[in-house]
Structure 1
């Protein structure tokens, strides 16, 4: 049984990923704005904008999972505008975005690396058949490569930082059996997206996607599931784009 900590698991891509991972037989501890347990759900509440929240979340998840986490999925994020003309609001938006979109993921990844090193140490008893001691899957964005709107510099910057961080982890800790991957979705059909796509601006979004539609949350979730459970170790450091060819590299 694979134990997984999945942040941002209560809606959108995170909820779809949670369902896909559970269906695949994994044991998942999720994260949201508040605690909540159900028949197939364990959710730990944490505000990732607070300093130290990532460490507290890791400790709580580790306790719920019996002292062993095999996969960390950093999916939690915010997409909030930073008004260019208002210096105070600008600074607040940057700080909040940075803490949630990057710092919390970094803090959790640090704990994951240390945990995986401990369990996949020199005797290698903590590694699976392919030699993997632990996996980190970071959900970034097309914005990391293409940029974003004039109101979302901070979002693109944080998501680009997540890519660089993941590649650094992949290069630094492959010898320890630790692998790390990035999922970079483009526009994805979630509850918030439906309203935007129904507006006059929605047509421009679709016209910019060669596939002719935005990605579904299930498509991104399947990518997360595969990286979490099945992707070969040699893929470590890779970025998988899920954007309908709206940005290719």
Structure 2
């Protein structure tokens, strides 16, 4: 029970086959009390209920600074001081560069980069007050390679921003005993690719991955448990690849 009685917020964690919910399950299995955040009220309550007694679901649009501030205050009141934040909320778009509209660019940046900034700004004051904490931000192989299998240029840019944000926060917050790391998943088989990742396409992609398979949500979840646990107590400012060897650099 690496995380017994600790409180963890997981954003973007209501999708049944998503990385966020897989991570929430893994954290709960290690004893943490989970606050699930997502856009759909019914979905967050269903996801929290799946985890069992003691876990809570909250509707929150992380692109809103005010909603983030209010929901973190509610979580602190309901569950206690927050020990860990795992910022998974975001959107993916595969639009080609010259076809990206200003509106779509803003939507991606707001959800991915601004959303990460908002929820971190809401959580950090409480972590400072309690004497420390741990944050995991979610980047992408798309930020490292200049595009992924499905992510477009604006998506890649947003995730590059998230990874840089995590490093900068790690440097600034380390003296306050707050560790900040990022994970950079490769292609992970989740609901986000529903309708796009056919069995034929999945086999084609798997053939390009040294480990011979597409990633699963639990592959990312287990790494996140490590990063927020005391086993990673001297790890901060890292962008940790989770891609089966697809991008070795």
CA distance in 1, matches of 2:13, 2:39: 10
Partner in structure 2 of residue 127 of structure 1: none
Q: Distance in 2 between matches of 1:151 and 1:162?
A: 15
After the TM superposition, which of the residue ranges 172-181 and 204-213 deviates more from structure 2? 204-213
Take 2:107 and 2:231, find their aligned partners in 1: how far apart are those partners? 32
User: Is contact 2:96–2:153 with CA below 8 Å preserved after alignment?
Assistant: no
Aligned to 1:90: 101
How far 1:229 moved relative to its partner? 2.0
- Please give the per-residue CA displacement for 1:62-111, whole angstroms capped at 9, x wherever unaligned: 23223x1011110111112445455xx61111111111111111112123
In 2, Cα distance between the equivalents of 1:105 and 1:161? 10
2:157: which partner in 1? 157
Query: 2:212 — aligned with what?
Result: 212
Pairwise CA distance, 1:50: 4.0
Alignment partner for residue 62 of structure 1, among 76, 84, 99? 76
Question: Which residue of structure 1 lines up, in the alignment, with residue 11 of structure 2?
Answer: 7
Give the gaps of 5 or more residues in structure 1.
Answer: 121-132
Gaps spanning 5+ residues in structure 2: where? none
Deviations 1:20-51 (A, max 9, x none): 11111000000122332523442111223445
Matched, 1:78 2:73: no
Q: Distance in 2 between matches of 1:79 and 1:54?
A: 21
RMSD: 2.1
State the distance in 1 between where 2:8 and 2:199 align: 37
SS at match of 1:188: coil
> How many corresponding residue pairs?
234
Could you state the TM-score of these two structures normalised by the residue count of structure 2? 0.86
The aligned residue for residue 143 of structure 2 is 144
User: Structure 2: how far apart are the matches of 1:83 and 1:55?
Assistant: 35
TM-score relative to the length of structure 1: 0.86
1:29–1:42 contact (8 Å) kept in structure 2: yes
C-alpha deviation, 1:139, in angstroms? 1.4
Flag the 1:53–1:154 CA change in 2: closer, same or farther, 3 A: farther
1:112 correspondence with 2:119: no
8 A Cα contact 1:82 1:94, kept in partner: no
Higher helix residue share: 2
Per-residue CA deviations over 1:169-221 (Å, capped at 9, x if unaligned) read: 11112111111111110000123446433255434322221111111111111
Q: Is the 8 A contact 2:92 2:151 kept in 1?
A: no
